[in-house]
Amino acid sequence: MRTPLPTPEPPQLGELGGLAYALFLPDGEPSAGIVVCHGAGSAKESHFDFGRVARAAGMAALAFDARGHGRSQGEFGPTAFADVVTMLELMREHTPQVALRGSSMGGFQALHAAAIADPPAVAVVAICPAPEDLLLQGLKAGRLDFRMDPASLEPWLRTLDIRKAVASLAGKTSVMFMHAEGDEQVPYTISEELFAVAGEPKRLLIVPGGHHRSLQHDGEMQAETIRFIERAL
């Protein structure tokens, strides 16, 4: 008979300012902290696998539900970047060195939030980041499945420029872009364009094949995220 696998230690669950979060802490002092931003229509639980990877590497990880998603209060909209900064500040209670990891709409949030964070994040890892023009297209086509107020969301998205946000990180925040070449929702050329306007230090990984969600849960890509953040420290 097989020996059952041990049950992973669960994260600490909490709420701050209407934002529901899950915190993964290592046994000792964390070498860094990572705030994880999920994609449109997703939730923090989708990234618990990465939270456990980060914890095993001696880092803290905090995944949270964006407004309009999961157990967080309110609707997704103009407070999105400030909400990410709030989670950065919460993570800094455990370690001063904090990075961001975001996928799809979460990559959009992570890059924009890093542009306004003070003190700055040490690194951002953006996985198939969705720019505001694609989010606007999804909004108009009715493909965005979360709580929102279109009357405020659409004009807010129109004021944003993710390329300017990325360019502003030069010299203060290391940036890594990951994208599956087979992404059927956000073309991999988006990451190539953002990488081109980013300043050093930066890195670009275009992975053959795959799909929109494949890299988020790929063990090798998760390990690359950890290594990139370690180098940024």
Asked whether 174 and 124 are in contact (CB, 8 A), the reply is yes
Domain boundaries, the chain: 15-232
47: left (phi over 0), alpha (psi -120 to 50) or beta: alpha
Kindly tell me the burial class for residue 220, based on how many C-beta atoms sit within 10 Å of its own C-beta (0-12, 13-18, 19 or more): exposed
Q: Class of 15-232 per CATH? A: alpha beta
Residue 126 tokens, joined = 């953006």
d(CA 183, CA 48): 22
Q: What is the pTM of this model?
A: 0.95
Q: Return the H-helix or E-strand segment holding 193.
A: helix 189-197
Closest CA to 55 of 82, 94, 16, 24: 24
233 residues of the chain, pLDDT tens digit each: 566 666 678 999 999 999 999 999 999 999 999 999 999 999 999 999 999 999 999 999 999 999 999 999 999 999 999 999 999 999 999 999 999 999 999 999 999 999 999 999 999 999 999 999 999 999 999 999 999 998 999 999 999 999 999 999 999 999 999 999 999 999 999 999 999 999 999 999 999 999 999 999 999 999 999 999 999 99
| Number of DSSP helices (H) and strands (E) in the chain, helices first | 8, 8
